[in-house]
Amino acid sequence: MIRRFIKKVFGRKPPAGPRILTLESHGIRREQVSSCALKTTRALREAGFTAFVVGGAVRDLLLGKEPKDFDVATDATPEEVKRVFRRARLIGRRFQIVHVYCGSDLIEVTTYRAAAPPVEDEEEASRVTAEDGMLLRDNVFGSQEEDAARRDFSVNALYYDPEKEEVWDWHGGFEDARKKVLRMIGDPATRFREDPVRMLRAARFAAKLEFHIDPATRAPIAELAPMLARIPTSRLFDEMMKLLLSGHAERGVKQLRAEGLHHGILPMLDAILDDPARQRFLHEALHDTDARVRAGHGASPAFMLACLLWFDMRAEWRANEDEGLSPQSALYEAMDQSLERQRKVLAFPRRFDGTIKEIWSLQSRFEQRSGARPFRLLDHPRFRAGYDFLLIRTRGGDAPAELADWWTRFQEADDPERKSMLLSSSPGQASKRKRRRRSGQGNGKPGDAVEVKLG
């Protein structure tokens, strides 16, 4: 009777309980879990609570990948969790989680959450859900079953018990992982409406895991994509950076495009993907970043932003010069203008601005290969980033290969060799350039060297 009622209300069969998988079938041994996560689950269990490793870590272990981090889910409240550990900190105000520390290692412990509070009257309903179905509140404790139901994809709703080496699978995630299918839990359109960021997550996971998106999950995305405009721009930025710095950005951006998710959210991506020259540059930038991340070297959001906005900034630089600004002021203004314009759509922190501007302004300094300037440039704290950027431009057909080769050799050479490499400064050329700029013909290309010092 109750089951029938639930089915009527939710339009689907309530899960009959988790499918419990043993080591034999899932193959995840407890030693594969980080020692800090093991300590955390053990201590919670000894204190009388349930505790499982959950989410991305279980999914990645199941797929034979190395997890980025380990999260733990428990039925203990945040206050109770905090009491179990000597080194633990409550994080967040509205929805609290607990950070448990072991040395420099950190485990995020979350209390099981239910999807939404029971809605008793219309007023309450309007407080919890916006008109278009977006969830405004999501902070009620619940059972593991409820916790599983509020997660996004079936492969993200697997719970691993390190003690028994069991995986508790509430939504068929194990089978989906085997078939490499990304499937939304519940009704996809409803779940995307509740939180439109899940659309970006779908593209990110499909790319990262090399999964295909289940057709029913994929179907509503095209229509719901405009809902992303309602997401706070800072959250969009975080989500985009996760995708772009995941080590699978090339595939991720393709996936975004395939789902029609690149419009609007990242106007720069939008413009880039419609212009072959920009596309080639972006391809090189993403390829390079992916290789770097996969080799275990970090990739920085500032560098990525410098790549994404490069053409945009340069067009602005050119326009400013055409309006009669000196090359230096034209560059300064262009950098500010393009960063501010983009920030309206994608709130990226101002702390990246300095690095982005340095990477950009170094580009014209690479042109200067005479006298003491190349030596000064080598000592610049952002030399490496600027040089890496130059390499990407070269591969993307945006700078001469000869220039990048020269800098590669210059770095490797000893002092006498470096001196012999210097180009003789050609005053004739410099004054020709000045004349051209004055007569308004300057094209503002990085070839027109501008030395800019940024604090």
Catalytic residues: 69, 71, 152
Would you put residue 397 in left (φ > 0), alpha (ψ -120 to 50) or beta? Answer: left
| Residue 193 binding ligand ATP, by CB under 6 A | no
Q: Which does 152 bind (CB under 5 to 8 A by kind): ligand ATP, Mg ion, none?
A: ligand ATP
- The residue with tokens 């997401």 is 231
Please list, in sequence order, all residues whose beta carbon lies within 8 angstroms of the beta carbon of residue 104, skipping any fewer than 6 positions away.
none
In single-letter form, the type of residue at position 391 comes to L
Q: Which of 26, 113, 193, 198 binds ligand ATP (CB under 6 A)?
A: 198
Least separation in angstroms between residue 206's CB and ligand ATP is: 12
Q: Which does 166 bind (CB under 5 to 8 A by kind): ligand ATP, Mg ion, none?
A: none
| Residue 68 binding ligand ATP, by CB under 6 A | yes
Least separation in angstroms between residue 129's CB and ligand ATP is: 15
Provide φ and ψ at 367, rounded to 5°: -70, -25
| Residue spans of alpha helices (H) in 245-400 | 249-258, 267-273, 276-294, 301-322, 327-345, 353-365, 373-378, 383-395
Please list, in sequence order, all residues whose beta carbon lies within 8 angstroms of the beta carbon of residue 260, skipping any fewer than 6 positions away.
221, 222, 225
Least separation in angstroms between residue 59's CB and ligand ATP is: 6
97's enclosing H/E stretch is: strand 97-102
| Residue 239 binding ligand ATP, by CB under 6 A | no
Least separation in angstroms between residue 236's CB and ligand ATP is: 13
Q: Which does 395 bind (CB under 5 to 8 A by kind): Mg ion, ligand ATP, none?
A: none
Q: Which of 151, 218, 262, 395 binds ligand ATP (CB under 6 A)?
A: 151
Kindly tell me which of 197 and 331 has the beta carbon lying closer to ligand ATP.
Answer: 197
Distance CA 364, CA 450 (A): 6
Of the CA atoms within 13 Å of residue 100, those in its CB half-sphere come to: 29
Kindly tell me which of 70 and 317 has the beta carbon lying closer to Mg ion.
Answer: 70
| Residue 40 binding ligand ATP, by CB under 6 A | no
Distance CA 40, CA 375 (A): 52
| Residue 183 binding ligand ATP, by CB under 6 A | no
| Residue 55 binding ligand ATP, by CB under 6 A | yes
Q: CB neighbours (10 Å) of residue 242?
A: 14
Question: Measuring CA to CA, which residue among 237, 256, 454 is closest to residue 343?
Answer: 237
Q: Which does 198 bind (CB under 5 to 8 A by kind): ligand ATP, Mg ion, none?
A: ligand ATP
Number of residues that bind ligand ATP (CB under 6 A): 11
Residues contributing to the site for Mg ion (CB under 5 A) = 56
Q: CB neighbours (10 Å) of residue 116?
A: 19
Q: Which of 195, 288, 316, 358 binds ligand ATP (CB under 6 A)?
A: 195
Going by DSSP bridges, is the β-strand pair 71-74/51-54 parallel, antiparallel, or unpaired? Answer: antiparallel
Question: Measuring CA to CA, which residue among 369, 428, 371, 379 is closest to residue 402?
Answer: 369
Distance CA 322, CA 211 (A): 48
Distance CA 312, CA 310 (A): 5
- Tell me which stretch binds ligand ATP (CB under 6 A): 17-25, 194-202, 254-262, 337-345: 194-202
Kindly tell me which of 54 and 261 has the beta carbon lying closer to Mg ion.
Answer: 54
Least separation in angstroms between residue 15's CB and ligand ATP is: 16
- Tell me which stretch binds ligand ATP (CB under 6 A): 37-45, 192-200, 300-308, 445-453: 192-200
Distance of CA 73 to the CA centre of its chain: 24
Distance CA 4, CA 259 (A): 36
Contact of 108 with 68, CB cutoff 8 Å: no
Contact of 43 with 87, CB cutoff 8 Å: no
Of the CA atoms within 13 Å of residue 422, those in its CB half-sphere come to: 16
Q: Which residue is nearest to ligand ATP (CB)?
A: 56
Q: Which does 197 bind (CB under 5 to 8 A by kind): Mg ion, ligand ATP, none?
A: ligand ATP
Q: Token digits for 113? A: 């959450």
Least separation in angstroms between residue 205's CB and ligand ATP is: 7
Q: Which does 241 bind (CB under 5 to 8 A by kind): Mg ion, ligand ATP, none?
A: none
| Residue 171 binding ligand ATP, by CB under 6 A | no
| Residue 156 binding ligand ATP, by CB under 6 A | yes
Q: Token digits for 97? A: 């989680």
Kindly tell me which of 147 and 358 has the beta carbon lying closer to ligand ATP.
Answer: 147
Least separation in angstroms between residue 56's CB and ligand ATP is: 2
Q: Token digits for 166? A: 């069991």
Kindly tell me which of 170 and 407 has the beta carbon lying closer to ligand ATP.
Answer: 170
Kindly tell me which of 202 and 307 has the beta carbon lying closer to ligand ATP.
Answer: 202
| Residue 56 binding ligand ATP, by CB under 6 A | yes
Least separation in angstroms between residue 12's CB and ligand ATP is: 17
Residues that bind ligand ATP (CB under 6 A): 55-56, 68, 71, 151-152, 156-157, 195, 197-198
